[in-house]
Amino acid sequence: MLIIFNPTAGPTRRRNMTRILSVLLEQGIQAELATTAHAGHAEEIAREAAREGRRVVAAAGGDGTIAEVASGLAGSGTALGILPLGTVNVLACELGIPRTPERAAMVLAQGRMAALRPGMARFADGRTRLFLQMLGAGFDAAVVAELSLPLKRQIGRGAYVWQTVRQLSAYRFPPVTAWIDGKAEVAASVVVTKNRFYAGRYELAPEALPGEEGFHVVLFRRSGALATALYGAALPLNLLPRMAGVEIRRAKAVRLEGPAALAQMDGDPAGALPVEIDDAPGPLRVLLPP
Ligand SMILES: Nc1ncnc2c1ncn2[C@@H]1O[C@H](COP(=O)(O)OP(=O)(O)OP(=O)(O)O)[C@@H](O)[C@H]1O
């Protein structure tokens, strides 16, 4: 087993990594550790490990690092292990992976194999990237794009709340057009998701199931600061899917367009629209709790 570790969040994350390695040793697993040196490195290391035929490559970090490792493993038989050491860890919430380091390590030691179906995004400049959770276009992408990393390191998920409040007055709400299996819908923001949850254990698409093909497309029809603030307030109350102006569609393929809109994937900035979204060609094996 190889573990790809993003060490940038500081000493607590390193301590958690040490705890994970000692649990694995107790379980008789001698894992090799590879530390990332820059953004994109996790994907490169994972791709090489898959080429070497590793059985399991685990990602230790936040959702962004996990998405990079998944991209590197795409199309191979190597399974993804998930060690959630990030700020929010939405994928771990979604898949029921414990967030205490020791218990997450036990999933690597004793978990069962399952298959996820990642989404694949194709951008106009030719870039192709996988996502395990969602691609957001519009307001949430603007929040992620402007998020201060030092502030996130200092106050954790509060940094997202702070940046959301700032964007409420700064964001201009350019319309986003979503072509959902060929039919156009216009909204202020759109989230194309595999996930039931969003930003934590908060419901966004209540009927989404891990491993399913296709997407749930969440359309936020209302634009402007007031409507967006209400959507934000409804999220932690698990009321967002039932809010006026929120509509959810099923889709096999989606194209998002919008002259001034950005995209985020699995919580990290992903670039500008337009983007074409499909299922990745094959499933991704993943270790889940027994
Ligand atoms: N050594 C590194 N130096 C700089 N950036 C890195 C490094 N390793 C990974 N990254 C980048 O940092 C991004 C964010 O990292 P990651 O998702 O692990 O955690 P986070 O920002 O701490 O947590 P969260 O995503 O939960 O808020 C990743 O998408 C990755 O591209």
Domain co-membership, 87 together with 162? no
Count of domains forming the chain: 2
Domain co-membership, 143 together with 241? yes
pTM: 0.95
Domain co-membership, 197 together with 245? yes
Residue 31 to residues 36, 42, 109, 134, 186, Cα–Cα distance (Å): 16, 16, 11, 30, 48
Instruction: Look at ligand 1, atom 4, and give the residue with the nearest C-alpha.
Output: 38
Domain co-membership, 154 together with 263? yes
Position 10 scores a pLDDT of 77
Task: Quote the tokens at residue 36.
Answer: 């990332």
Domain co-membership, 185 together with 143? yes
**Domain span including residue 241:** 120-280
| Chosen domain end from 75, 110, 145 | 110
Domain co-membership, 167 together with 200? yes
Per-residue pLDDT tens digits for 124-154: 999 999 999 999 999 999 999 999 999 998 9
Residue 126 makes CB contacts below 8 A (sequence gap 6+) with none
Per-residue pLDDT tens digits for 215-242: 999 999 999 999 999 999 999 999 999 9
Q: Name the residue of 3, 4, 5, 8 whose CB sits within 8 Å of the most ligand 1 atoms, as the mutation to test its pocket.
A: 8
Asked whether residue 104 is assigned to any structural domain, the reply reads yes
| Chosen domain end from 110, 132, 164 | 110
Domain co-membership, 140 together with 104? no
> In the structure, which protein residues have their CB atom closer than 6 angstroms to any atom of ligand 1?
6, 8-9, 36-42, 61-65, 68, 86-89, 152, 267-268
Does the ipTM exceed 0.90?
yes
Domain co-membership, 72 together with 197? no
